Amino acid sequence: MLMDGHSLAYRAFFALPAENFTTATGQPTNAIYGFASMLANTLRDEAPTHFAVAFDVSRKTWRSEEYTEYKANRSKTPDEFKGQVELIGELLDAMHAQRFAVDGFEADDIIATLATQAEAEGFEVLIVTGDRDSFQLVSEHTTVLYPTKGVSELTRFTPEKVVEKYGLTPAQYPDFAALRGDPSDNLPGIPGVGEKTAAKWINQFGSFADLVERVDEVKGKAGQNLRDHLEAVKLNRRLTEMVKDVELPKTVTDLERAAYDRTAVVMVLDTLEIRNPSLRERLFAVDPGTEEAEAAAPVVEGVELDGAVLGAGELKPWLAEHDGKAVLGLATVDTWALGSGSVAEVALAAADGAAAWFDPSRLDGADENAFAKWLADPKKPKVLHNAKGAMRVFAEHGWTIEGVSMDTALAAYLVKPGRRSFALDALSLEYLGRELGPAAAADGQLAFGADDQAEAEALMVQARTILDLGEAFGEKLAEVGAAELLRDMELPTSALLARLERHGIAADRAHLEAMEQMFAGAVQQAVKEAHASVGHEFNLGSPKQLQEVFFGELDLPKTKKTKTGYTTDADALAWLATQTDHELPVIMLRHREQARLRVTVEGLIKTIAADGRIHTTFNQTVAATGRLSSVDPNLQNIPVRTEEGRAIRRGFVVGEGFESLMTADYSQIELRVMAHLSEDEGLLEAFTSGEDLHTTVASQVFSVERSAVDAEMRRKIKAMSYGLAYGLSAFGLSQQLNIDAGEARALMDTYFERFGGVRDYLRRAVDEARATGYTATLFGRRRYLPDLNSDNRQRREAAERMALNAPIQGTAADIVKIAMLNVDRALREAGLKSRMLLQVHDEIVLEIAPGERARTEELVRREMASAVHLRAPLDVSVGAGPDWESAAH
């Protein structure tokens, strides 16, 4: 099987929206994903013994030298596509698939050469390509698989299919193509001669050569046009013929498929943040080395496991024998939903090869007491994967986990924070070279019957893998200077977050349901207004119908052109609202906002647990900067600057037994961090002056008295200051302020004239990151940015923005974690019943016990303000009230 890599990657690029397939560094992956999906499916369906992929090198080939206008009509390759072919090559290399690219030739010349050689050696040949010129290669032993719908459907072109489609044999196809011309290659056709006439002439005269020899016999105007354009058509014929003797470094027999380098495949997919489990399964299912791997010992190579399935009365003696000798690895099968859960199975593993599996429901009293005592003993070191999840659900059984010395998921995050998959099987393959069996799910959990010995062994293998990964990560953390970060910050934070998730926050169901109805009514009202504005009904959710209404019926200004027409996304609607007096763009914006709010509130209502509280799940390993995020529900998704968003927050209320909620956050923490890191005297003075920061800075930038700073000046400077902390460019600032790029650049230059320390720091941050390959926070949290030296401008500039904002955002995130830990410790040491519930962005939300408000506020202010010493002192704002919104400050 031979694939035209460029052809298929380009089709995949246009079949999948780039905005849905982009890494955190801004690298689009839609072409890679689509190509990999087609590759997996085709290898599965066709099962070739030999395989290769051919690529173009550039548009400069023997064809362009012979005809300078060859493909000259093609538009510039989209920036989003650039670089993806190179990355597809990395994936193919990891799969040990042969790939070819030869200067001066196109991919189809390489394919023609290999196909000809393969036929001569008795192979059946499949060619997968979106180039119809390949039909000339079709024979009794060569079939072309041609994509007819995106990258998901392939049509088999056999000799019979070519005849059915064109009325010609494959050998006649290049004659036909020469007469027809090819607009995509900029090969001119003959005026007045289409496909039917071209096919008729070839059938009538037998071949192109015979047609040329008897050209005077062709009658009518079409015949005269043929004679007038004969030289151009002859050139077409030369260019259409594929070269079948390209000199290649390998022969057909070298194309035999080989086992993957599975570790490398996982690393490529992880780096590209392609984490769809279905695609990974399909790719690995067609690995020629799969049977070898499955035929190997059931336990991983190099690991001897002395495992035992324990019954009642057997866990206590097992722990007595092993827990004092070494660190134990722990793996579980558990469930957690809507604030409650249970542990179904537990496996333990020791470094000496001993392992045990048990069902917690079958423990006797002595076993359970011994297990609970071991879990709660901080002197008994334990290694887990995603310890927070275990801590949260073990508490449902009355068990407390202390003494976690290593969390392999958190360690992997600190070693390589840019990756998006922290699945146990992927880490095992990458760091230990071991492949876990199919029972190891992506989240590190298993699902099987309790009496199945083989599946119990699989969980014990997981426990042993976690233990061995812990040892490997111990060395890796030391290499990147992150051992203390894990021990002193991330592990304690995970334990705290487990308690926060169990606490949850009380919800006013009636209030939220009323809001959902209000938003639903607003959505319907917007629909009615939209229909009335154009005089008929249409589907507001249909991009096609919106395009017809906006740009057909109403003839509004055209927006950005996409493959499916002119875009009607939110940015386009906002732009249209400024370009026309018609009310529809404004109505559509309101409709989408109200629909989004309705979905948000519906999601909140669905997550209210039986205890009347919402238990979000916090993620420590999603944001590469170290920030926390939340899911189920996402509490960072609730708007705070709109009245509707504030109304939603009123649905989060104080719970039974407590008197109020309290919120505390840092004022302008990113800007304070930027001032500290840059040591800019002017910015530090602005913070210590006691005046409004943005007004003070604006007065310096615009050279006016503070009293002369108006709202527009302040708005521009606020956007500028925060923008610099987030790596904003002059273009981005112009978009944000709705000013032209020149004015934004002038504003930025003036800002830097006044605050040269900030300018110097930002330059230094990028230069140092380019030299070392990473940025670091004040606390040593690294973010690796290999794209800083990329030849791809888009990737390089995205990495530069990250080099600017990662130290600032990351340091701010670290400070918030330190503050949370300090506040929690102080609450417990003071014996207070008030407790922390949430951390959202830079804000901490607490639930205050009766009579403890003043003491808690004093404690919170003290611990947060002293979390770290900055040159621009931390400023803490605190508020309290019966609900989240009322507690705002």
Name the β-bridge partners of 328: 350, 382
At residue 378 the predicted structure's pLDDT band, cuts being 50, 70 and 90, is very high
Mean pLDDT of 510-518: 96
- Cα separation, 567 vs 573, in Å, equals 9
- pLDDT tens-place string over residues 123-166: 999 999 988 888 989 999 999 999 876 556 789 999 999 888 88
Q: Is 686 exposed, middle or buried (0-12, 13-18, 19+ CB in 10 A)?
A: buried
Range 670-811: architecture per CATH: Orthogonal Bundle (1.10)
CATH superfamily of 2-167+243-255: 5'-nuclease (3.40.50.1010)
Mean pLDDT of 733-751: 86
Of residues 103, 144, 121, the one with CA closest to residue 248: 103
More confident position, 811 or 790: 811
Mean pLDDT of 581-590: 93
What percent of the chain shows pLDDT beyond 70?
Answer: 92
Lowest mean pLDDT among 340-344, 424-428, 473-477: 424-428
Give yes or no for a cis peptide into 543 (omega within 30° of 0). Answer: no
Mean pLDDT of 425-454: 61
161 near 144, Cβ under 8 Å? no
More confident position, 376 or 795: 376
Of residues 356, 352, 354, 471, the one with CA closest to residue 406: 471
* pLDDT at res. 236: 72
- Full-model pTM: 0.73
User: Is residue 876 scored above 90 in pLDDT?
Assistant: yes
- Cα separation, 463 vs 590, in Å, equals 52
- Which range, 120-134, 517-531, 619-633, has the best average confidence (pLDDT)? 517-531
Mean pLDDT of 285-300: 60
394 near 400, Cβ under 8 Å? yes
Mean pLDDT of 288-317: 69
Quote the mean pLDDT of the chain: 87
Domain with CATH 3.40.50.1010 in the chain: 2-167+243-255
Of residues 456, 477, 466, the one with CA closest to residue 427: 466
Map tokens 């690029």 to a residue.
13
* Per-residue buried b or exposed e for 158-173, using 16+ beta carbons within 10 Å of the residue's own CB: ebebbeeebebbbebb
26 near 76, Cβ under 8 Å? no
User: Is residue 547 scored above 80 in pLDDT?
Assistant: yes
User: Is residue 822 scored above 60 in pLDDT?
Assistant: yes
User: Is residue 432 scored above 50 in pLDDT?
Assistant: yes
- Where does 716-799 show beta strands of DSSP type E? 774-776, 782-784
Residues near 324 by Cβ (< 8 Å), separated by ≥ 6? none
Q: What is the DSSP letter of 104?
A: B
844 near 664, Cβ under 8 Å? yes
99 near 54, Cβ under 8 Å? yes
* pLDDT at res. 10: 87
DSSP secondary structure letters along 209-225: HHHHHTGGG--HHHHHH
User: Residue type at 237?
Assistant: R
User: Is residue 442 scored above 60 in pLDDT?
Assistant: no
* pLDDT at res. 437: 59
- Cα separation, 787 vs 795, in Å, equals 6
The residue length of the chain stands at 889
Mean pLDDT of 224-241: 74
- The three-point CA angle 283-284-287 to 5° equals 100
Mean pLDDT of 168-191: 74
- pLDDT tens-place string over residues 3-57: 999 889 988 888 887 777 887 666 789 999 999 999 999 999 999 999 999 998 8
* pLDDT at res. 607: 95
- Cα separation, 784 vs 543, in Å, equals 39
Residues near 801 by Cβ (< 8 Å), separated by ≥ 6? 726, 727, 728, 729
Of residues 285, 127, 108, the one with CA closest to residue 182: 108
Question: CA torsion, points 422, 427, 428, 430, in degrees to nearest 10?
Answer: 160
More confident position, 798 or 676: 676
User: Residue type at 435?
Assistant: E
Domain with CATH 3.30.420.10 in the chain: 296-502
- pLDDT tens-place string over residues 752-778: 888 999 999 999 999 999 998 899 999
At residue 300 the predicted structure's pLDDT band, cuts being 50, 70 and 90, is very low
User: Is residue 819 scored above 80 in pLDDT?
Assistant: yes
Domain with CATH 1.20.1060.10 in the chain: 505-614
- The three-point CA angle 97-103-109 to 5° equals 65
- Cα separation, 678 vs 760, in Å, equals 8
CATH superfamily of 296-502: Ribonuclease H-like superfamily/Ribonuclease H (3.30.420.10)
Mean pLDDT of 787-796: 77
Backbone angles phi, psi at 125, to 5 degrees: -120, 135
- Cα separation, 889 vs 881, in Å, equals 10
Lowest mean pLDDT among 284-288, 436-440, 499-503, 809-813: 436-440
Of residues 190, 199, 182, the one with CA closest to residue 132: 182
- Cα separation, 639 vs 642, in Å, equals 6
Domain with CATH 1.10.150.20 in the chain: 670-811
* pLDDT at res. 299: 40
- pLDDT tens-place string over residues 859-868: 999 999 999 9
Range 505-614: architecture per CATH: Up-down Bundle (1.20)
At residue 295 the predicted structure's pLDDT band, cuts being 50, 70 and 90, is very low
Count CA within 13 A, CB hemisphere, residue 313: 0
* pLDDT at res. 326: 64
* Per-residue buried b or exposed e for 289-305, using 16+ beta carbons within 10 Å of the residue's own CB: beeeeeeeeebbeeeeb
Q: Is 726 exposed, middle or buried (0-12, 13-18, 19+ CB in 10 A)?
A: middle
Residues near 6 by Cβ (< 8 Å), separated by ≥ 6? 55, 56, 85, 107
Neighbours of 228 (CB within 10 A): 11
* pLDDT at res. 241: 81
